[in-house]
Structure 1
Amino acid sequence: MRRPALAIAAALALSSAAAAAPVAFDGSWKTQRFSLFSSNDYGFGGDTLTVRSEGSVSLAYRPLPETLWTSQSASWAWAVDQGVPATDLRRKGGDDRNLALYFVFLPAAEAERMKGSNVRKLLGNDSARVLVYVWGGDHRRGAVLPSPYLGARGKTVVLRPSGTGSARERVDLAGDYARAFGGDPGALVGLAVSGDSDDTDSRIDARISGLQLN
């Protein structure tokens, strides 16, 4: 009975790997400034995105094709070589963090209507819900916090507190959405990445690689 069991396990592993969809850091990503005078430096390199921030904050965003709207989980690796001090991520104007990865959801009908919209319109849409996975802050792993900028539309999920190092993550988008907002997540229409060092006037040198959706 051992060989059939091993064969089934191998088939399931291959099926899971085949279902994983890599998300490239390519020309489909666009940057969004929040200030005319400062912005992060993003390096788009296919499998890897580098983020350098020096007393600045900005966002890199990409829409997702409809084939990925039903994604239920995500995985990636990230590393921080230099980062910001611990902050209170609930405090507007004092919530610097090393890295934040945003997952933007809309109801299916609204997702169709909002196709082609820029990230400001999406994040400002009353129907949008945003899970923000963060490396930073002075909070325990797994804490779900209110967003000081998105209000009821966004929740911060702490994966790692402030500090340096490297790690791999796998998140249950559907489960975290239900925990943060209740109900089903609808369509995953876009992703964003940010580094935020303007409040503490500090420096970030970090990267994200191997981003996949399932």
Structure 2
Amino acid sequence: MILVAAALAMAPVWVGRFEGAGEPPPPWRIVRMSRRVRPTSYRIVDNAVEANADNSMALLARPIAVDLAATPILCWRWRIDAPVATADMARRGGDDYAARVYVAFDMPDSAISAGTRRRLALARTLFGRNVPDAALNYVWDNRHPVGTHRKSVYTSRAELIVQETGTANAGRWTPERADVAADFARAFGGKPGTPIQLALATDTDNTHGKARALFADLHFVGRNERCA
């Protein structure tokens, strides 16, 4: 019985398994950060999410409940046609990515300074509750080395992590594995956080171009477990 319970505890936690074709089903939903920006389009094709951006930005998001102590590793596959050639994560006018996987967190008030809480409250008056306490963004960049970590040019509450870069793997499915618990601890000084949302995105609203990506098989596993 103990062995069975342990095996079940380490079973993959699926958060993005897609079937068939058509509109992404609930609990997935389109999240627009600005009504002034055209939304990226998302649809299910060949058991994957296809994202098409044309001078556009929107997230395809869903709520999640994941115990990072048990399953801290996020696994997924993605594919891009090409990176956003004119992107530059160091400036607002270049903050675009052919593909990104985004994990949003709630944090206790004790882990956030009073000044940060005020800034988050202000941001939520502009953008609503879609602004999380903190976020990790795993991105397919165009120039920075894999493993690069830096804060978003828009907010210190979002950490950008270069998971893939350049054209070497463009045009083919590429499997990924990220230690979300360790990355969150590094980005936010070891303070506690609870993952509440997973999102996918392809965005070109800053560089005014086009990009296409596919995402599939998103799930969490134990640190010593293989991706499913």
User: Shared fold by TM > 0.5?
Assistant: yes
Name the amino acid aligned to 2:152.
S
Equivalent residue number for residue 74 of structure 2? 74
With the length of structure 1 as denominator, give the TM-score of the two structures: 0.77
Runs of at least 5 residues in structure 2 that lack an aligned partner in the other structure? 19-24, 111-123, 222-228
Identity of aligned residues (%): 29
Equivalent residue number for residue 49 of structure 2? 49
Cα deviation digits, residues 72-128 of structure 1 (max 9, x gap): 120000001244215221211221110111111113689xxxxxx9xx444535xx1
Indicate how the Cα distance of structure 1 residues 72 and 37 shifts in structure 2: closer, same or farther if over 3 A, else same: closer
Name the amino acid aligned to 2:217.
G
Question: Are positions 1:177 and 2:176 aligned together?
Answer: no
Which structure 1 residue ranges, 4+ long, deviate > 6 Å from structure 2?
none
Question: Map of 1:14-29 to 2, 5 A cutoff?
Answer: 15=7, 18-24=10-16, 26-29=25-28
* Total equivalences in the alignment: 190
Q: CA deviation at 1:46?
A: 9.3
Q: CA deviation at 1:20?
A: 0.8
Name the amino acid aligned to 1:40.
T
CA RMSD after TM alignment: 2.9
Indicate how the Cα distance of structure 1 residues 188 and 210 shifts in structure 2: closer, same or farther if over 3 A, else same: same
Question: Are positions 1:94 and 2:86 aligned together?
Answer: no
Equivalent residue number for residue 210 of structure 1? 217
Task: Return the match for 2:152 from 132, 147, 168.
Answer: 147
- Greater alpha carbon shift after TM alignment, 29-38 vs 89-98: 29-38
Kept in 2: contact 1:174–1:184 (CA 8 A) = no
Runs of at least 5 residues in structure 1 that lack an aligned partner in the other structure? 1-10, 111-116
Name the amino acid aligned to 2:177.
R
Equivalent residue number for residue 160 of structure 2? 156
Three-state SS of the structure 1 residue aligned to 2:81 is strand
Kept in 2: contact 1:51–1:205 (CA 8 A) = yes
Equivalent residue number for residue 114 of structure 1? none
Indicate how the Cα distance of structure 1 residues 87 and 37 shifts in structure 2: closer, same or farther if over 3 A, else same: closer
Indicate how the Cα distance of structure 1 residues 45 and 190 shifts in structure 2: closer, same or farther if over 3 A, else same: farther
Three-state SS of the structure 1 residue aligned to 2:181 is helix
**Alpha-carbon separation, structure 2, partners of 1:203 and 1:64:** 29
With the length of structure 2 as denominator, give the TM-score of the two structures: 0.72
Indicate how the Cα distance of structure 1 residues 139 and 185 shifts in structure 2: closer, same or farther if over 3 A, else same: farther
Kept in 1: contact 2:62–2:199 (CA 8 A) = yes
